């Protein structure tokens, strides 16, 4: 990344972190994915039950394998998993020691936006796990809630449809059509305006483009 872009990214992330802290979230800024991954592994330690929310960012940082290698139990669903087993895994993730996910948008006024197909991830980032850690690359920054929701539906959702090989209308149109497709992946939205009092939520902001 160009040095000026790096400097600008850090400034923008620092501002977002300050806004998140005003909304009672924990927030830390890291210069790159390697530094963020190292910090998360240190926070997790060993012997924990760690739920995963199907995050491309988490996968790109190699965290599932690294957390398992450190002696943690990683709880996540897998493609082709039978519905009842998938439900069991989602419920187990809700009771995890640490839950990892990535929002589709972090706004400049400190809001967190997540859009989901089934709602399991949206549920887990509000209440349940002992600690919730959300990772977001600099590409997830948005000016406000409206822009963040637009990003979730018109950028992240289309990229995820392509990743999941779902031929939903937005893939052909290149924009959200608010479809009624049975395979639609954006059925539920969670906007965290402030940190819920009983939830421990830490946001790791990373000066690198990660995930969708």
- Is 173 in a helix, a strand, or coil? helix
CA distance 165 to 95: 30
Residue 125 near residue 94 (C-beta atoms within 8 A): no
pTM beyond 0.85, yes or no: yes
Q: Does 78 have pLDDT greater than 90? A: no
Per-residue model confidence (pLDDT) at position 185: 93
* Pairing between β-strand 112-116 and β-strand 188-192 as defined by DSSP bridges: antiparallel
pLDDT digits (tens, 9 = 90+) for 85-99: 999 999 999 999 999
Q: Mean of the pLDDT values across residues 4-25?
A: 97
Domain 3-105+113-206 annotated CATH 3.20.20.240: no
CA distance 131 to 39: 15
Task: List, in order, residues 6 or more apart from 83 with CB less than 8 Å away.
Answer: none
- State the pLDDT confidence band at 1, using cuts at 50, 70 and 90: confident
Q: Mean of the pLDDT values across residues 61-83?
A: 95
């Amino acid at each position: 990344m160009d040095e000026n872009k790096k400097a600008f990214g850090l400034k923008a992330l620092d501002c977002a972190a300050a806004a998140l802290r005003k909304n009672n979230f924990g927030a830390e800024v890291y210069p790159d994915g390697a530094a963020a991954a190292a910090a998360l592994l240190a926070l997790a330690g060993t012997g924990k039950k760690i739920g995963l929310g199907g995050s491309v960012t988490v996968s790109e940082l190699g965290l599932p394998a690294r957390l398992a290698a450190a002696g943690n139990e990683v709880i996540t669903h897998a493609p082709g998993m039978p519905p009842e087993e998938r439900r069991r895994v989602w419920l187990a993730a809700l009771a995890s020691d640490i839950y990892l996910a990535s929002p589709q948008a972090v706004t400049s006024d400190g809001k967190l936006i997540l859009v989901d197909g089934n709602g399991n991830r949206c549920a887990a980032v509000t209440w349940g796990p002992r600690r919730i850690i959300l990772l977001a690359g600099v590409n997830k920054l948005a000016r406000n809630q409206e822009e963040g929701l637009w990003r979730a539906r018109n950028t992240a959702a289309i990229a995820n449809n392509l990743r999941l090989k779902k031929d939903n209308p937005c893939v052909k149109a290149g924009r959200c059509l608010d479809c009624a497709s049975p395979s639609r992946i954006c059925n539920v939205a969670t906007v965290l305006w402030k940190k819920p009092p009983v939830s421990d939520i830490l946001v790791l902001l990373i000066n690198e483009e990660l995930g969708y």
